[in-house]
Chain A
C-alpha cells in the first residue's frame, strides 16, 4: 500500500463527493475543450480562406459584372481565355463560373451560379471571401456534372419553402423568363432542379445563391460560350504578382483582373480576435479548475488533519504525504478531464456553437458575427486533445493543490493526539 495507492483509494471514500467534484472540474474542462475547438475551427477556417483567397485572382469581362442576364452587363469573357490562362506558368488551376440573377420577391435577388461540381463555392460580391458549408444533404459531386441538381443557400431555401429535411427530394423551378427592370427576360423554358444539399455561408446575401453544374447552367440559360468569372489559382502567394502581370499581358484587353486581398485581411483579423477570446475563455476554465482543486484539497486536509498527524507520527515523510495528496489531486483532475471529455463528445458540437454565439459573438464587430455563427466546430478527440487534457489536468492539480499540500506537510503529528 504505497502512498500513491493510498491517495487513489482515498478518492473512493466518499463516492458522492467524488462525482460532484468530478463534475465541478469536468465542466471547466468542457469549457476549455469548447474554447480549444473554437480556436481550432477558426484557425482551420482561416487557413482554408487564406489558401483560397491570397492565391486566387479573379477575371471578369472588362467593365462587367459578368452576369449573363443583366441589362448592359451582358458581355462575358470569351471561352478561349480559359486555355490562355491555363498556359501561364505558376497557374495551378482555373475555375470558370457562370452567373445569372433571378428575382425572388422584388426588389430582392438570388444568384444562380454554374460551376464545376467540385469547384469552390464562391459567393457573389464576396466571391473571394465566401466559405459556405453544407448544413443539410450533400455537396455536389463530379457525377452531378450535367445533371439537373443544385445546392441551395439557406436564405433562398427559406424563401422557396424548402426545408433541410427535404434534401434530395425538393424541387426548385428555374425560370429564365422572370423579369425585373435590370434583368433580361430570357426566352428559355423553365427547368426543374432537384435540391440535393443546403449550405450556410454565415451572411444573408451569401445565403441567397443556388449552385448548379456549369453544363446544366449553360443548358438552362442557353449560354454555350463564355464565362462570367474565371478564378485563377496560383501555386503560391509569392507568384501572384508574376501571374497577375502575365494575365494583364495575355488577356488584359478583354478582362479586368482583380486581386482580392481585403477578405484575407479581414479573416486574419477576425480570426485573431476570436482566437484571443477563445484563449481568454480557456484561461478562465483553467482558473476554475485550479480553484476547485484548491478548495477540495484544502477541505480534505482540514477533514483529515488527524489522519495526516497519525501518518506523520508513525513515520510518513513529507514526500509521502505530498505523494498521497498530489495523487488525489491529479486523479481528481484527470477524472474531471474524462468527464469533461465525455460531455464534450456528447454535447460539444451542439453546445460549442451556442457557446461561441453567446460567449464570443457579442464581442465581435456586428458585421462579422454572422460569418462565424455557422462555424463548424469538431467534437472529435484527437491526440492533441488528449494531450491537452493530460497537461491541463496535471497543471491544475499541481497549482491547485500546492497550498493544501503545504498545509498537510506542515501538520504536526501532535494533531493525531487531539481528542474529539
Chain B
C-alpha cells in the first residue's frame, strides 16, 4: 500500500461552461487522488470531460469549483505567471498532433522547455541529445519535424515532455495520429517513462488503456468506474 502523499488531488472539482445560454457540466464534483509514478489512462466517449480534466490537472484551465493540488501545490490561487512557472517545472505535455516547432531541429525542440527553465545552453543541448539517443533518435539530432516520421515526431515530443524532469506527464491522445504498431511503441515508451513519474494518458483506445496501471472511465464528467 502506497502511503506517500498523492501527486494529484482533486477535491469536489467541477467545471461548467455556458454555451448558448445553457450550462454544460464538463466535470461534475470530481474527487480524485493519483499517486506519484505510474501510468493512468483516462478513457471515455467524446464530451465525457477527459480533455477538460487534463487541462485542469495540467494548470491550463481553472475549475469553476473545487480544489486542485498537484505536486503539493494548490493551483486555484495561482496567477497566470505562477501557473506558467508551475507547468514549466512540474508538467510535461505530449500532444496528439505532436506540436513540434516546425522550424527547429529535434535537438532544439527538446531543448526549448529547458531554455524556458533557465538551463545553460551547453547543458540543455547535452541533455537533449541524451534523451533523443535514449529514444533511438541519435541519428535525427539535426532533422526538422518535416523530415521525421510520425513515430519519430512523437518520440521527440516525449523527449521534450520530460526534458525538465517533470513529475507529471500529460498525454492527450498520443497515438491518435499513428498507426497501431507505432502507437504501441509510443505506449511502450510512455509506460517506460512512467516508472520515474506519473503519466496521465487520455485515450479512446480501451486496449491501450488496459496497459496502464490504472484507468479512469469518465462519463458525463464523472468517474464511471
- In contact, A316 and B116 (Cβ under 8 angstroms): yes
Q: Which residue of B lies closest to A317 (CB)?
A: B84
List of A residues within 8 angstroms of B182 by Cβ: none
Which of the four size classes fits the interface of chain B? 35 or more
The 6 closest A-B pairs by CB, nearest first: A315-B88, A315-B116, A310-B99, A413-B60, A314-B113, A1-B108
Contact (Cβ within 8 A) A414 B60: yes
Q: Report the bound CA distance from A414 to B61 in whole Å.
A: 8
B131 contacts partner chain A, Cβ-Cβ < 8 Å: no
* Cross-chain pairs A/B with CB under 8 angstroms, 12 sampled: A310-B95, A311-B112, A312-B84, A314-B92, A314-B160, A315-B89, A316-B84, A412-B61, A413-B58, A413-B87, A416-B99, A417-B60
Q: Is the CB of B99 within 8 A of A414?
A: no
Chain B residues positioned under 8 Å from A316 (CB to CB) = 84, 116
Q: Using Cβ atoms and an 8 Å threshold, which residues of chain A touch B97?
A: 306, 419-420
Pair B81/A416 contact, Cβ less than 8 Å: no
Beta-carbon contacts of A26-51 to B below 8 Å, as 1s and 0s? 00000000000000000000000000
Docked-complex contact B112 and A1, CB < 8 angstroms: yes
With A419-B97, A420-B97 known as contacts, the answer to whether A414 contacts B113 (CB < 8 A) is no
Are the C-beta atoms of B93 and A313 separated by less than 8 Å? Answer: yes
Contact A417 B55 (CB under 8 A): yes
| Complex CA–CA separation, A394 to B76 (angstroms) | 39
A316 vs B55: C-alpha distance when bound (angstroms): 17
Apart from A314-B88, A419-B176, list 10 A-B contacts with CB within 8 A.
A310-B95, A311-B101, A314-B161, A315-B87, A315-B88, A315-B89, A315-B117, A317-B116, A414-B55, A416-B93
Contacts A12-B103, A419-B97 given; does A313 touch B60 at CB 8 Å = yes
**From residue A96, how far is it (CB to closest CB) to chain B in Å?**
74
Instruction: Report if A2-B103 is in contact (Cβ < 8 Å); known contacts: A414-B61, A417-B55.
Output: no
Instruction: Determine if B219 is an interface residue (Cβ-Cβ < 8 Å).
Output: no
Q: Is B31 an interface residue (CB 8 A)?
A: no
Please give, as numbers and ranges, the residues of chain B lying within 8 Å of A412 by CB-CB distance.
60-61
A6 and B101 in contact (CB under 8 A), knowing A314-B87, A412-B60? yes
Instruction: Return chain A residues, CB-CB under 8 Å to B108.
Output: 1
Q: Which residues from chain B contact A314 at a C-beta distance below 8 Å?
A: 87-88, 92-93, 112-113, 116, 160-161
Q: Is A9 an interface residue (CB 8 A)?
A: yes
Least Cβ distance of B154 to chain A in Å? 14
Which residues in chain B, 93-116, are within 8 Å of chain A measured between CB atoms?
93, 95-97, 99, 101-104, 108, 111-113, 115-116
Which residues of B have CB within 8 Å of A419?
96-97, 173, 176
- Whether A1 lies near B81 (C-beta < 8 A) is no
Least CB distance, A377 to chain B, in whole angstroms:
42
Which partner residue on chain B sits nearest A418 by CB separation?
A: B97
Is B9 close to A, CB under 8 A? Answer: no
In Å, the complex CA distance between A138 and B66 comes to 88
Which chain A residues numbered 289 to 345 have a C-beta less than 8 Å away from chain B? 306-307, 310-318, 320
Q: List the A side residues contacting B89 at CB < 8 Å.
A: 315
A361, chain B: closest CB distance, angstroms: 48
Alpha-carbon distance A199/B111, docked complex (angstroms): 67
Are A10 and B103 touching (Cβ within 8 A)?
Answer: yes
The residue in chain B whose Cβ has the minimal distance to the Cβ of A420 is: B97
Bound Cα distance from A316 to B117, whole angstroms: 9
For B52, the closest partner residue in chain A by CB is A414
What residues of B have a CB within 8 angstroms of the CB of A317 in the complex? 81, 84, 116
Interface hits, B36-55 → A, CB 8 Å: 51, 54-55
A306 / chain B contacts, CB cutoff of 8 Å = 97, 99
CB distance from B120 to the nearest CB of A (A): 13
Q: Is B172 an interface residue (CB 8 A)?
A: yes
**Which residues of A (336-385) have their CB < 8 Å from a CB of B?**
none
Q: Tell me which residues across on chain A come within 8 A of B87, comparing CB atoms.
A: 313-315, 413
Binary interface encoding of chain A residues 5-25 relative to chain B, with 1 for a CB under 8 A from any of its CBs, else 0 = 010011011000000000000
Report the Cα distance A331→B112, complex, angstroms: 22
A320 CA / B112 CA spacing, docked (Å): 12
Q: Would you give the shortest CB distance from A237 to chain B, in whole angstroms?
A: 63
A317, B83: Cα distance in complex, Å:
10
Best-buried of A1, A414, A416, A419 by chain B (most CB within 10 Å)? A1
- B51: chain A residues at CB < 8 Å are 417
Tell me the complex Cα distance, A176–B88, Å. Answer: 95
Residue of chain A at shortest CB distance from B92: A314
Q: Which residues of B contact A315 (CB under 8 A)?
A: 84-85, 87-89, 113, 116-117, 164
How many angstroms between the C-alpha atoms of A203 and B113 in the bound complex?
70
Residues of A within 8 A of B99 (CB): 306-307, 310, 416
Which residue in chain A gives the minimum CB-CB distance to B172? Answer: A417
